[in-house]
Amino acid sequence: MSTIVTKDGTKIHYKDWGLGPAVVFSHGWPLSADAWEKQMVYLAAHGYRCIAHDRRGHGRSDQPWIGNDMETYADDLAELIEKLDLNDITLVGHSTGGGEVARYIGRHGCQRVAGAVLVGSVSPLMLKTDNNPIGLPITVFDGIRSGVAADRSQFFRNLTSPFYGANRPDATVSQGLRDAFWFQGMQGGLLNQFECIKAFSETDFSDDLKKFEIPTLIIHGDDDQIVPIAASALAASKFIKNATLKIYPGGPHGLADTHTDQLNNDLLAFLKP
């Protein structure tokens, strides 16, 4: 396996497929780099180098007791980019990975970045606060914490329903896809995934988004039951200068698998000069 070791000794696993301009993918919670395989195969076949890592505590990466926060996630991403000496990259982040991309730019700037794509991203802030009244109440995230702590395996199985929109009429979500989500989730560490809930729900990325100085594409499904569009994509598009917003009608949270062709084509169109 391809790995790097971060400054705190955490081993981070990554996939590196194809040749050409680099596209670096950040996955959602509680998944791994495997969540991006359809996009990586497609873009690599069209002349791009596709790199995706397993966030610390997820997938095949180490499961450290510390560093399960957005700042460390962003710094891990920075170390990967620097150790592979990547430049003029396009960052693509889904859900929690979108927050990771935002915090990376907020902490490390756009010197190595040519563009960014936020797909179903948690940015700018998921949690309802006095300054963010359209966010979700803390009880929603407390419920996620309770489910993960009590029976993580069953919770992940149940989560696949709203994640992929399998609970909608005429949904055609396969059991195999739902099983793949469960498998990826169960590869991660309980503590890491538990602490990541706070990171993705309570981190405010507003100031990070204001530092995007590169072309940015925001993609979101208008039937996203996990990260509702109003407090995420619609709000984020107001923080990022000249961002392009694409809304997928009826799209759920797991667009990489439910709207694969549409997402792949949109990514390729964004990457082409």
Parallel/antiparallel/unpaired status of strands 89-94 and 22-26:
parallel
Domain with residue 174: its CATH number is: 3.40.50.1820
First to last CA, the chain: 33
Q: What are phi and psi of 2, to 5 degrees?
A: -85, 130
| Residue 184 in this model has a pLDDT that exceeds 80 | yes
| Residue 1 in this model has a pLDDT that exceeds 80 | no
For residues 253 and 273, give the distance between their C-alpha atoms in angstroms, rounded to a whole number: 28
Beta bridge partners of 24: 51, 91
State pLDDT tens for residues 85-116.
999 999 999 999 999 999 999 999 999 999 99
Enter the tokens of residue 20.
């050409």
Q: Which helix (H) or strand (E) holds 233?
A: helix 233-239
For residues 209 and 17, give the distance between their C-alpha atoms in angstroms, rounded to a whole number: 29
Give catalytic residue positions: 95, 224, 253
Q: What is the share, in percent, of the chain residues with pLDDT greater than 90?
A: 98
Strand blocks (E) in the chain: 2-5, 11-17, 22-26, 49-53, 89-94, 113-119, 216-221, 244-248
CB 92 within 8 A of CB 270: no
For residues 14 and 25, give the distance between their C-alpha atoms in angstroms, rounded to a whole number: 10
CB 252 within 8 A of CB 172: no
DSSP summary character for residue 17: E
For the chain, how many helices (H) and strands (E)?
10, 8
Query: In the structure, what pLDDT confidence band is assigned to residue 242 with cuts at 50, 70 and 90?
Result: confident
Enter the pTM of the model. 0.97
Enter the tokens of residue 132.
């963010």
Query: In the structure, what pLDDT confidence band is assigned to residue 17 with cuts at 50, 70 and 90?
Result: very high
89-125 as b/e, with b when 16 or more CB fall inside 10 Å? bbbbbbbbbbbbbbbbbbebeeebbbbbbbbbbbbbb
CB 8 within 8 A of CB 68: no
Per the structure, the complete domain to which residue 152 belongs is given by 2-271
Enter the tokens of residue 196.
């990541």
Q: Based on the structure, what is the number of domains in the chain?
A: 1
Q: What is the share, in percent, of the chain residues with pLDDT greater than 70?
A: 99
For residues 65 and 236, give the distance between their C-alpha atoms in angstroms, rounded to a whole number: 31
State pLDDT tens for residues 41-56.
999 999 999 999 999 9
| Residue 217 in this model has a pLDDT that exceeds 80 | yes
242 CB neighbour count, 10 Å cutoff = 10
